[in-house]
Structure 1
Amino acid sequence: MQRLKIWRTSTLLLSAYACFLPAAASVVYRPAAGNRPPQISIKGDLVQTDIETFATIAETARQDAATFMPNGLVNVTLDSRGGNIWVAMSIGRIIRKYSFMTRVEVGASCVSACVYLLAAGEGRYVGGRVGIHRPYLPNDGVTSARAKKAQYEGINAQTRQYLEEMGLPKSLHERMMRTPPDGVNWLSAQELSAFGLTKMIPPPPKPASLGPPVTGSP
């Protein structure tokens, strides 16, 4: 009876612990079909395991896109409250490496760390909502004011460098850092444009017309 009670207690504790473990984001790939290019959708909070998942899917999408159309278009659709900022920047660099497009469709939201994914798109479309704030400091047991200050300065420097790497203005990072981590600054259409978070890529130019054939005199 005692062993059964211990087993039940352990099971309950493990179940309770599992409830607090962050679930990986849903990363789903849809191959090209008809006139629709390949699409990768990211939904949910970003965690460490999402990097490898996305990298594998991204390579498949890149190869698929190369056979679908000459410019190799791949859309990455986003609907996420954020998550691990280091994961977001790692995935963002993969997005930029392959020149994927990023999209926040109507009805979707891209908040917090998700914005670093949006920023990575070679082209960026926003039909939904985008919200920014200052990143959370990691909950890693650091308590001293000096250590917290060092953490903050490190996050500040690396996020600023990342956004500059993606070609976005310093004003976006400044606005992020002015917004408390427990709040959200929802960006207007004008702000999205000013911060460079909407960037449409024009279609590839059509081949120049050669004109009517020239015939010789009879």
Structure 2
Amino acid sequence: MTDLPPPLPHTAKEQAQAAPKWPASRMLRWIFGLQLVFAAVLLGSDMLRVLPQLAFPSSAPDITQPLGPGDQTRRYDPAQIDPRPARPGSRPIPTTTDMPSRLEFVDAVWDGQPVITLTGQIAPGDAARFADFLTTVDPAPTQAFLNSPGGSVQDALAMGRQIRSLGIGARMTATDICLSACPYLLAAGTTRTVEDGALVGVHQHYFGKNTALPAFMAVEDIQRGQGEVMEYLSDMDIDPLIMRHALLTPPDEIYLLTPDEMQTYNLTTPD
């Protein structure tokens, strides 16, 4: 008599029980291998972003070189930007010899009015520090003097909203700089004064540095960040077309705005 094959499973439970099972060790090796592939893809995407800048660094002139018509792009490295000597009496306090690695807040009196100065790079967490600082200033400042090579976009936006809510003006003297994320602080002033010789510049931003995120999530973060910036500029009555120059300028370069451009985009206000 011929042996018949066992009947095929019909129910989902029977099919699951009849399916071959992977040993736990084999499953762990498969998961580990998938993680290695995922890490390699992320590392490769980061290297593709960074390598062009390393292999072909910016050939733009140094930021201290004078501007010319259509010649407004300069090399940008916030760690190598030092304060320029200020004219006596042009600022409420003397300019330091080194640009601080995070914002320094000082309250002072200038031209008989209470003011504050914001000097240095904008580091993550500076918005919370700034909020605490403002609670210690009495009387309330009328203006904020800016001198910063930029830094954290999210902190700049949060600080800018604090400046606008308190009705504080923004001011730059002839030797001050306001680059990268700093122009969002300038945009927040109820009045916005930039003296001739001051440098105001924009470029592309990084809105997140978490390399554990998949590429599509990183792009999503960038788009969300750009949306927040556009909403912020609208709230501050700044022409969002100013972002055209930022989006076309890579992070290792800076596009310096001319006085006429700042007026056109409403970044400065009439005297």
Would you say same fold, with TM above 0.5?
yes
Secondary structure at 2:139 match in 1 = helix
- Paired residue for 2:51? none
- Paired residue for 1:64? 139
1:198 deviates by 0.8
- Paired residue for 1:125? 193
**1:131-155 C-alpha deviation (Å, 9 max, x unpaired):** 1112124221145331221121111
Tell me if the contact between 1:163 and 1:173 (Cα under 8 Å) persists in the aligned partners: no
Confirm whether residue 52 of structure 1 aligns to residue 142 of structure 2: no
Tell me if the contact between 1:46 and 1:83 (Cα under 8 Å) persists in the aligned partners: yes
**1:90-139 C-alpha deviation (Å, 9 max, x unpaired):** 11000000110001111010001101000000000012110111212422
- Of the candidates 158, 161, 169, which is equivalent to residue 101 of structure 1? 169
How many correspondences in the alignment?
170
Distance 1:79 1:195 in 2: 21
Tell me if the contact between 1:133 and 1:178 (Cα under 8 Å) persists in the aligned partners: yes
Confirm whether residue 40 of structure 1 aligns to residue 108 of structure 2: no
**1:158-217 C-alpha deviation (Å, 9 max, x unpaired):** 11111111111121123222222221000111111111111146xxxxxxxxxxxxxxxx
Confirm whether residue 145 of structure 1 aligns to residue 221 of structure 2: no
- Paired residue for 1:197? 267
Distance 1:84 1:26 in 2: 15
Tell me if the contact between 2:186 and 2:192 (Cα under 8 Å) persists in the aligned partners: yes
Runs of 4+ more than 6 Å apart: none
**1:45-75 C-alpha deviation (Å, 9 max, x unpaired):** 11233223322333444x414xxxxxxx611
| Aligned residue runs from structure 1 range 132-211, under 5 A | 132-142=202-212, 144-200=214-270
- Judged with a 3 Å threshold, the aligned counterparts in structure 2 of structure 1 residues 40 and 150 are, in CA distance, closer, same or farther, namely same
Distance 1:112 1:199 in 2: 20
Give the alignment's TM-score, normalised by structure 1: 0.72
- Paired residue for 2:150? 82
Give the alignment's TM-score, normalised by structure 2: 0.58
Distance 2:229 2:212 in 1: 20
Secondary structure at 1:64 match in 2 = coil
Q: Which has the larger radius of gyration?
A: 2
Given residue 134 of structure 1, which amino acid in structure 2 is its aligned partner? Q
- Unmatched tracts of structure 2, length 5 or more: 1-99
Given residue 179 of structure 2, which amino acid in structure 1 is its aligned partner? V
Of the structure 1 ranges 51-60 and 161-170, higher mean CA displacement relative to structure 2 is found in 51-60
Given residue 165 of structure 1, which amino acid in structure 2 is its aligned partner? D
- Of the candidates 112, 131, 139, which is equivalent to residue 180 of structure 2? 112
- Paired residue for 2:26? none
- Judged with a 3 Å threshold, the aligned counterparts in structure 2 of structure 1 residues 106 and 135 are, in CA distance, closer, same or farther, namely same
Distance 2:193 2:227 in 1: 27
Distance 2:168 2:128 in 1: 17
